[in-house]
Structure 1
Amino acid sequence: MTTASEPRPADAGKLDSAVLKVAAVVVLGSVMAILDTTVVNVALQALTLEFETSFDTIQWIATGYMLALATVIPVTGWACDRFGTKRLYMLAITFFLVGSALAGAAWDIESLIVFRVLQGLGGGMLMPAGMTILTKTAGPHRVGRVMAVLGVPMLLGPIGGPILGGWLVDSVSWRWIFYINVPIGVVAILLAWRLLPKDEPRPAEKFDFAGMVMLSPGLAALIYGVSNIPYHGGVGATNVWLPGIIGIVLIAAFIVRALKVANPLVDLTLFRNRTFSIAMVTMTLFMIAFLGSMLILPTYFVLVRGESALQAGLLLAPQGIGAMITMPIAGKLVDKIGAGKVVLPGIVLIIASVAVFTQVGADTSYLLLMGALFVMGLGMGMSMMPISTAALQTLTQRTVARASTAMNIVQQTAGAVGSAIVSIILASLLAGKFGVATSEGQLAATAALMNPATHDAAAVASADAFASTFTWTLVLVALCLIPALFLPKKPALPPEEDAAEGAPPAVMMH
């Protein structure tokens, strides 16, 4: 067993079969949860017609899932320690599986929303629990490689989801966007039971119930308020500013309390670690920019170029191909040369690709756009998961579960904020082009584009609004460079606690 004083074998960084088996189980669960989110977004229009309801109501299929995620994520770190990551991961898959089966059998819109919340309770635990399992199994010196494996579904989900969702809705039935999770979930549970390492629960710490009452509803309220901004065209609506303020107050109260009590729900002392803090700031800015871009890219193809949801998904495929090329390479490089030397070039590639979209028009060459998307994918593969790796590499085994929880909270919150920011910018620009209220910008553009008499002029105006929105996105991505400059530029050393015990830990299979 390697200790801090012994040289590490030349092949110590390689992922052995035991780690790869664990990675396969975790990736399967992650693919199921992330694909489901993007698949459902494609089906919202079809579900509106199926249940003869308003778009406001149908949005709760997505919003309810997202709020369930925000509610359960803060509890996951404590639950991993208390019950063991393997048990919690299998429970999460079970929740998601049952929720999927019930959602597919939903008889009205109310039942579908309830079952989506049940799915969200499982989905919210899958990513942080899976990240904890992988990090503990691989050890700190191989975190970059295992995070690269975990990053595949996170980057490919937004691309594969629209393709799969478009095909299922058009050719099979909307119910199969949920039923498709059932066989995947059954296989995931069986593999998790068979392949995941046994981990004994740690001695029970007192559960921070007061912290949960503050943080979980606080996050849900904040994300709900922020997600309402695009529809209302600003922050003036009551169901934007009221839940937003309530969420901020509850989160602030949690932070004040967490700094004073023992064993808070989220361990804020993690942020005393300089590398962890820098990585979290970088991730926050990155998620705001990344999810904002991912939101409007397919919208451009559908709205301005008149493509179907399925065609828009296929046009985004070069981004996924680019990410698949660089992600495994980036994972190895992070472990060898440090995250900073990998993330910075990755962000530069993303900036170069977004710069192309700032010049987009109504008839821009698809070859140029797909080339830019490929470069964007190369950059995504070099930046997204290496940032997470930098956050986890310097932490001890005992703090990984809590750190994974904190990271997922940041990702969910920043993602919601980014989507809202970019959506409101686009809606405002479209509204200005068509002389309507901000909340009606996209509807006015759609109506003008569908009218043969106004189509050409509307396409030019709409494309100009998208180009201006991408300019703002470019600024958001460029801001990521500032904290990324301070990411470590040397390979991480094992944390003192883990080095004393020997890393990686022994893996006991079921």
Structure 2
Amino acid sequence: MIDRIPWPVWRVALVVVFGGFVSMLDTSLVNVGLDSIAADLGASLASAQWIASGYLIALAVSLPLCGWLGRKVGVGRLWLWSFGAFTVASGLCALAGDLGWLVALRVLQGVSAGLLVPAGQTVLGQAVGPQRLGRVMSILGIAVSTGPAIGPTLGGLLLNSLSWPWLFLINLPIGVAGIGLGLKYVPRGERGAAPRLDWSGLILISVGLPMFVYAVSRWSERATLADTSVLVPLVLGFAGLLAFAARSWRRANALVDLRLFRDPVFAAATVVTAFAGATLFGAMLLFPLYFQVLRGADVITTGLSLFSLGLGTAIVAPLGGRLTDRYGGGIVALWGNVLTLVTTAPFAFLGAHTDAVTVQALLFLRGMAIALATMPAGAAAYAAVRRDQLPDATTTVNIMQRIGGALGGALFAVVLAAALPRGAESAFQQAFWWVSVASVGSVVCAAWLWLAQRSARAAQRTPAAMP
């Protein structure tokens, strides 16, 4: 039997979902309106791309500070402040009169959104305890997985009948409702327990992480590492991250406590989330192009075609949570990643004229598999640490997932761009082969997590040796 979760904890989880959903929704919602925004503001499409890129880079910039800020002001307060800043920035984006202001406000929106998901995960982890994390985290997992999936559909529907500011105004009612409920139900957390801010570490990762994300994004556009706009930030970003990791490993009060990786379960679970980020977010770049380029679908049809992916995730996520609490995240993540591989590999064989029923069935099953592959690994990482270590754990897991997503998206985009001159059908087949290879990596790492959890449980059952 697994412990019953009281209603007040479920209530907190449902409130936190507002923040997770809206922050992930905006990763794809606004992208469909870049043409309209550029035309209305008199800017080029290349310049308008910074509306999307600025948001994604800002997401990465804010992540390292989440743990320290959570300890300083309390994770519940951080969640409320971040949600408030995101909502205000959304309203201001709708009022922006030129591209420069819009990009700047999108950066503010991205910084606040980057804090929402890890702060929400910390709130839930501290409220529920390690033995019940799976079921509660599954609710947040639905929001994080389905937000990017339904973004293109919702964006297309809004642009079909309204103007582009509504891409931002739609966040206002969600934000007002979430903040109102949060003020009433979200625990504020303990404040003032943060050590002195590690300024050197902050500078290193604040330069390294966004430059790395920017470089791999440019790599996906340029399809070459030889371009100086790719190579220079890539080298600087990697050097910054490497210096940050080396420094944080030795330092007691580092900005992010990387010594958590000494725990085999946490280390394995975090690596699984990095691979899952590549297969989840990287494939989310391919699937819209698959429908638009290969099957000739418009934006709205593409979004509706991807709805089955999010639906499969939403249906199975609660089951994944229950299985995680009963059997452990390792074995659930292992089977989830196996199923992800099984439902991804067929796309390496499908052609442009494959019937829609087959495609939709595979997407629905892949959505179900993703629910079992991603959330259980994150829950296993958080269950492996102490309550006071959760801010660092959620920060680290989200950074690794962000890096994995950026690398996966860039790699798959480069493979696709390089193969397109030889034909769209073979190009997409080749790209999905690479997604399948990344899925194999996820399976291997999930097996590592399962074995690490088995070893940890065996060590707990073994009586301590007599002196």
Please give the range of the TM-score, normalised by the shorter of the 2 chains. Answer: over 0.9
Which of 89, 103, 121 aligns to 1:113? It is 103
1:109 & 1:253 partners in 2: Cα distance? 35
Please list every run of 5 or more consecutive structure 1 residues that lacks an aligned counterpart in the other structure: 1-9, 434-460, 497-510
1:80 & 1:286 partners in 2: Cα distance? 26
Residue 77 of structure 1 is matched in structure 2 by: 67
1:259 & 1:376 partners in 2: Cα distance? 37
Residue 342 of structure 2 is matched in structure 1 by: 352
Q: What letter corresponds to residue 84 of structure 2 in structure 1?
A: T
- Asked if 1:476 corresponds to 2:438, the answer is yes
Which of 477, 482, 488 aligns to 2:450? It is 488
The answer to whether the 8 A contact 2:274-2:402 is kept is: no
1:126-275 equivalences in 2 (<5 Å) = 126-275=116-265
Secondary structure at 2:191's aligned position in 1?
coil
1:255 & 1:359 partners in 2: Cα distance? 41
Q: What letter corresponds to residue 379 of structure 2 in structure 1?
A: T
2:249 & 2:430 partners in 1: Cα distance? 42
Which of 24, 31, 36 aligns to 1:34? It is 24
**How much does 1:104 deviate?**
0.5
1:356 & 1:33 partners in 2: Cα distance? 31
Secondary structure at 2:84's aligned position in 1?
helix
Please list every run of 5 or more consecutive structure 2 residues that lacks an aligned counterpart in the other structure: 461-467
**How much does 1:202 deviate?**
4.2
Residue 336 of structure 1 is matched in structure 2 by: 326
1:226 & 1:16 partners in 2: Cα distance? 44
1:392 & 1:317 partners in 2: Cα distance? 30
1:472 & 1:488 partners in 2: Cα distance? 25
Tell which structure's C-alpha radius of gyration is larger.
1
Secondary structure at 1:398's aligned position in 2?
helix
2:148 & 2:188 partners in 1: Cα distance? 32
Residue 429 of structure 2 is matched in structure 1 by: 467
Deviations 1:404-459 (CA, angstroms, capped at 9, x unpaired): 0111111111111111000000000013x1xxxxxxxxxxxxxxxxxxxxxxxxxx
1:315 & 1:245 partners in 2: Cα distance? 39
- Asked if 1:406 corresponds to 2:396, the answer is yes
Between structures 1 and 2, the one with greater helix share: 2
Runs of 4+ in 1 over 4 A off after TM superposition: 489-493
The answer to whether the 8 A contact 2:28-2:148 is kept is: yes
Secondary structure at 2:296's aligned position in 1?
coil
Deviations 1:330-389 (CA, angstroms, capped at 9, x unpaired): 111111111222112211221121122111212111111011111101111111100101
1:240-319 equivalences in 2 (<5 Å) = 240-319=230-309
Deviations 1:196-232 (CA, angstroms, capped at 9, x unpaired): 1232214341111111011111101111111101221
1:284 & 1:408 partners in 2: Cα distance? 9
- Asked if 1:423 corresponds to 2:385, the answer is no
Q: What letter corresponds to residue 470 of structure 1 in structure 2?
A: F
The answer to whether the 8 A contact 1:135-1:143 is kept is: yes
Further displaced range: 200-209 or 73-82 = 200-209
The answer to whether the 8 A contact 1:42-1:162 is kept is: yes
Q: What letter corresponds to residue 65 of structure 1 in structure 2?
A: Y
Q: What letter corresponds to residue 56 of structure 1 in structure 2?
A: A
Q: What letter corresponds to residue 67 of structure 2 in structure 1?
A: G
Deviations 1:447-482 (CA, angstroms, capped at 9, x unpaired): xxxxxxxxxxxxxx2122111211111111112111
- Asked if 1:367 corresponds to 2:357, the answer is yes
2:20 & 2:401 partners in 1: Cα distance? 15
1:54 & 1:281 partners in 2: Cα distance? 39
1:233 & 1:406 partners in 2: Cα distance? 29
The answer to whether the 8 A contact 1:390-1:488 is kept is: no
Secondary structure at 1:480's aligned position in 2?
helix
Secondary structure at 2:140's aligned position in 1?
helix
- TM-score for the superposition, normalised by structure 1: 0.87
**How much does 1:111 deviate?**
0.9
2:304 & 2:92 partners in 1: Cα distance? 30
Residue 464 of structure 2 is matched in structure 1 by: none
2:314 & 2:57 partners in 1: Cα distance? 30
Deviations 1:6-56 (CA, angstroms, capped at 9, x unpaired): xxxx56x22211111111111011111111121011112222222232222
Secondary structure at 1:235's aligned position in 2?
coil
Deviations 1:122-168 (CA, angstroms, capped at 9, x unpaired): 10110110000001001111011111111001111122111110011
The answer to whether the 8 A contact 1:90-1:193 is kept is: yes
Deviations 1:45-103 (CA, angstroms, capped at 9, x unpaired): 22222223222211110111112111111011011011101111111011101110110
Query: Would you say how many aligned residue pairs link Structure 1 and Structure 2?
Result: 457
Secondary structure at 2:448's aligned position in 1?
coil
Change (3 A) 1:101 1:487: same
The answer to whether the 8 A contact 1:300-1:463 is kept is: no
Identity of aligned pairs, percent? 36
